[in-house]
């Protein structure tokens, strides 16, 4: 089964693009990694990330056993190389056909998107600084798609053609 992983900084468009792909490809399951690490207050340490990875792989395993599921989209911010490697190793053990894509954009586009997103509770000035600081690390990852001046449709099309 094909599993598309969308990685990238907060605000780059992972969720928007992932939901678009899921909505336009029947039989696609959409998983937001944030669902698998929803502690209040948020704690992003090695223990909680390991739990989230296990939760994600459990969900993917269940979707893979469903005859109606044809593809899975996983969106999550994976700036810790250990997290991404743990997920890809787990997917390899499940014999999934994995496509790993990192979405990136420049500072100006990220700030504009951030300011236009009025629904996400994470869109604070503090988290914007964190997201902006992470841009160079994500830009250095393999298989990047620059979402800067592209529509959701064009980004999804590029991802599906990779």
* Residue for token pair 């698998």: 36
The pLDDT value given to residue 150: 94
User: Could you say which DSSP state residue 103 is in?
Assistant: E
Q: What is the domain extent for residue 59?
A: 2-161
As averages over each run of 10 residues, the pLDDT of the chain (162 residues) reads: 97 96 98 93 92 98 98 96 96 97 96 88 90 96 93 96 89
Closest CA to 25 of 7, 5, 43, 2: 2
CA 150 to chain centre: 18
CATH number at residue 90: 3.40.50.300
Q: Model pTM?
A: 0.95
74 upstream amide cis, omega within 30 of 0:
no
The pLDDT value given to residue 122: 81
Tokens describing residue 115: 């300011």
Report the alpha-carbon distance of residue 6 to residue 69 in Å, rounded: 18
Number of structural domains in the chain: 1
């Amino acid at each position: 089964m094909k599993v598309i992983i969308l990685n990238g900084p907060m605000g780059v468009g992972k969720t928007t693009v992932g939901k678009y792909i899921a909505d336009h490809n029947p039989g696609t399951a959409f998983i937001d990694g944030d669902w698998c690490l929803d502690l209040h207050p948020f704690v992003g340490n090695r223990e909680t990330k390991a739990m989230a990875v296990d939760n994600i792989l459990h969900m993917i395993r269940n979707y893979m056993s469903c005859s109606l599921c044809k593809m899975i989209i996983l969106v999550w911010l994976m700036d810790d190389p250990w997290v991404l490697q743990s997920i890809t190793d787990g997917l390899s053990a499940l014999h999934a056909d994995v496509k790993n894509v990192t979405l990136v954009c420049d500072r100006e586009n990220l700030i504009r998107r951030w300011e236009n997103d009025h629904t996400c509770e994470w869109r604070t000035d503090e988290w914007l600084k964190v997201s902006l600081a992470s841009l160079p690390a994500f830009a250095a990852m393999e298989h990047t798609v620059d979402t800067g001046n592209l529509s959701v449709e064009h980004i999804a099309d590029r991802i599906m053609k990779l």
